[in-house]
């Protein structure tokens, strides 16, 4: 079955013995690892009892398929439910895992499988979703702006630190590519601020946090929005390695929604400074010049067409996941062509 976060949270609080296998997969491998750890602790507690925890690699499972079934049905020497964990699983062992789930005794063990961005329609995911109650799959995707802001504030609060609103806005734009990386960056920030613990300011965040993926994303989207094919070509390869294609398209759509707000206010008579100042989170100071150039290039009508193209590209990328990078890059090239239209025909 497909799992949502509410079902997972209930399992973490009170593990259901009938649910014997969990798969955490998707582009946010840090989140997958975090949730797998929570599932393990829900069954074993804080300790890693060597008699109740077994960790297998995909290579071990592929080389000796019966071993997974044996481990899932083994009885702990000192009693208690066992946990079998498999990290970096691939679709190549989907059939073995499916057979082991079917053969496992109720309540004997919990199988926890972590996988990367393997695709939601692939055999490994289907093996877990096909089970109505015994197994479940949870897709781990990059945090959206709202979820990321909450995560940042909660993580810092747990460490004894507050955060200023502008610093939170800045971090929400910089982080989010991977849950594990985000938490690591926040830990680094707290170490940088040190003692006494206090509210983290924008100056602290600027001095400490510089996420490569976020900067690559800004450069790529900015080049497309300014119609700069040279910079677009220069940044495409770097961004493809740093940023997942669906995230790229969603961030580009969010950027054009913000640009639409600025252009609309300017059309109503506001200055650029006033229109840009209305954006939340605030525009990062290094990007204000680029945003002002874009506001001169784009009309509300053409921004609407760019948003339609981005939404269409995201749908295409979800349907044709193997071609997602090419689909995203083609969409940005088409948007760059829109930006290069004669400014005198802005409403066209």
* Per-residue model confidence (pLDDT) at position 44: 92
Q: Say if residues 252 and 224 touch (Cβ distance below 8 Å).
A: yes
Chain-centre distance for alpha carbon 12:
21
* Per-residue model confidence (pLDDT) at position 239: 60
* Per-residue model confidence (pLDDT) at position 345: 43
The two structure tokens encoding residue 94? 């989907």
* Per-residue model confidence (pLDDT) at position 145: 67
Q: Is the peptide bond before 318 cis (omega within 30 degrees of 0)?
A: no
The two structure tokens encoding residue 29? 């491998």
Q: What residues contact residue 143 under an 8 Å CB cut-off, 6+ apart?
A: 28, 31, 151, 176, 179, 182
* Per-residue model confidence (pLDDT) at position 29: 87
From CA 139, how far away is CA 342, in angstroms rounded? Answer: 44
Tell me how many degrees the CA angle 261-143-169 measures, rounded to the nearest 5: 50
Q: Are strands 162-163 and 199-200 parallel, antiparallel or unpaired?
A: parallel
* Per-residue model confidence (pLDDT) at position 80: 85
From CA 193, how far away is CA 297, in angstroms rounded? Answer: 41
| Residue in the block written with tokens 């972590």 | 114
121-145 as b/e: b if 16+ CB within 10 A: eebbbebbbebeebbbbbbbebbee
* Per-residue model confidence (pLDDT) at position 95: 96
* Per-residue model confidence (pLDDT) at position 279: 82
* Per-residue model confidence (pLDDT) at position 169: 84
* Per-residue model confidence (pLDDT) at position 203: 86
The 3-class secondary structure across the chain, one letter per residue, is: CECCHHHHHHHHHCCCCCCCEEEEECCCHHHHHHHHHHHHHHHHCCCCCCCCEEEECHHHHHHCCHHHHHHHHCCCCCCCCEEEEEEEECHHHHHHHHHHHHHCCCCCEEEEEEECCCCCCCHHHHHHHCCCCCEEEEECCCCCHHHHHHHHHHHHHHCCCEECHHHHHHHHHHCCCCHHHHHHHHHHHHHHHCCCCCEECHHHHHHHCCCHHHHHHHHHHHHHHCCCHHHHHHHHHHHHHHCCHHHHHHHHHHHHHHHHHHHHHHHCCCCHHHHHHCCCCCCCHHHHHHHHHHHHHCCHHHHHHHHHHHHHHHHHHHHCHHHHHHHHHHHHHHHHHHHCCCHHHCCC
Q: What's the Cα-to-Cα distance from 72 to each of 40, 87, 105, 163, rounded to whole Å?
A: 14, 16, 8, 45
From CA 164, how far away is CA 36, in angstroms rounded? Answer: 32
Q: What domains are there in the chain, each with its CATH number? A: 5-139 (3.40.50.300), 145-208 (1.10.8.60), 212-345 (1.20.272.10)
Q: In the chain, which stretches have pLDDT less than 50?
A: 344-348
What is the model's pTM? 0.59
* Per-residue model confidence (pLDDT) at position 76: 81
Query: Long-range pairs for 325-329 at CB < 8 Å and ≥24 separation?
Result: 325/240, 325/245, 327/245, 328/245, 328/246, 328/248, 328/249, 329/236, 329/240
């Amino acid at each position: 079955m497909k799992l949502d976060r509410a079902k997972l949270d209930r399992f973490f609080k009170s593990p259901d013995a009938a649910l014997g296998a969990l798969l955490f997969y998707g582009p946010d491998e840090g989140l997958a690892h975090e949730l797998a750890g929570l599932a393990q602790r829900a069954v074993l507690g804080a300790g890693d009892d060597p008699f109740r925890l077994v960790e297998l690699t995909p290579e071990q499972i592929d080389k000796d398929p019966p071993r997974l079934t044996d481990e899932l049905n083994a009885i702990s020497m000192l009693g208690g439910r066992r946990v079998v964990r498999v990290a970096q699983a691939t679709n190549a062992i989907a059939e073995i895992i499916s057979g082991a789930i079917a053969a496992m005794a109720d309540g004997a063990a919990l199988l926890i499988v972590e996988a990367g961005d393997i695709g939601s329609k692939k055999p490994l995911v289907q093996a877990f979703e096909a089970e109505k109650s015994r197994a479940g799959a949870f897709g781990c995707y990059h945090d959206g702006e709202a979820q990321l802001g909450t995560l940042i504030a909660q993580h810092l609060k747990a460490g004894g630190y507050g955060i200023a609103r502008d610093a939170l806005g800045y971090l929400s734009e910089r982080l989010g590519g991977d849950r594990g990386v985000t938490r690591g960056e926040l830990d680094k920030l707290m170490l940088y601020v040190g003692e006494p613990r206090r509210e983290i300011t924008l100056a602290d965040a600027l001095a400490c946090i510089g996420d490569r993926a976020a900067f690559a994303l800004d450069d790529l989207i900015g080049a497309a929005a300014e119609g700069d094919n040279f910079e677009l070509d220069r940044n495409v390869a770097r961004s493809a390695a740093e940023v997942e294609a669906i995230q790229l398209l969603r961030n580009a759509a969010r950027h054009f929604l913000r640009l639409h707000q600025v252009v609309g206010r300017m059309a109503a008579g506001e200055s650029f400074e006033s229109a840009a100042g209305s954006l939340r989170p605030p525009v990062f100071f290094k990007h204000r010049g680029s945003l002002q150039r874009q506001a001169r290039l784009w009309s509300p009508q053409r921004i609407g067409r760019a948003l339609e193209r981005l939404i269409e590209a995201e749908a295409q990328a979800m349907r044709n996941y193997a071609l997602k990078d090419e689909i995203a890059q083609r969409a940005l090239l088409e948007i760059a062509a829109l930006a290069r239209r004669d400014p005198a025909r802005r409403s066209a």
